[in-house]
Amino acid sequence: MPLNIDIVQILLHMLNFVILAGGLTLLLFKPVEKFLNERKAHYEELEKKIALETEENVRLNEEYSNKLTGAEETIARMQAEADKKTAQAAKETLDAANEKARSIIAAAEEEAEQRRKQILDSAQTEIGELVIEATQKLIGANEAPEQSKRLYDEFLKQAKTSGHK
């Protein structure tokens, strides 16, 4: 054999290598490949869960946005109703105050009219008494009181008719 090469040795080494490669494949490669496949499946499952949760989150976010918009509309509607009620209450209060003011003014005008009449009556009485005194002084003190009273009544009639014209 040239170069000290033994073909049997080479064949035995090749057989050993094939046995070793086959044994290692069975003992190491298969479990590692199984572990890698399981890990890949685990991460694919996690990815699916995340995708589903993301879709659920998007759906919930849209639902909450719709509810928030609905709540804002409800708040705006309730605020408008409260504004209307406040305006109505203010109007009713103002109307009641105006009515009370009218009644106070009417009562004051009536009281002023009564006082004016009282003042006129008292003035007429005083004028009548002054006229009676003056008449008595002119006519004399010895005339009858009935005649003075008649003269006083005639004077009041004339004063009333001339005062109302």
pLDDT tens for each residue of 127-147 = 877 877 777 777 665 556 677
The structure tokens 């105006």 sit at 98
| Number of structural domains the chain divides into | 1
Cβ 151 vs Cβ 138: under 8 Å = no
Q: State which residues form the domain around 144.
A: 2-163
Compute how many other C-beta atoms are within 10 angstroms of the C-beta atom of residue 156.
15
- Separation CA 48–CA 54 (nearest Å): 10
Q: Which parts of the chain register pLDDT below 70?
A: 1-2, 139-145, 148, 163-165
- Separation CA 157–CA 153 (nearest Å): 6
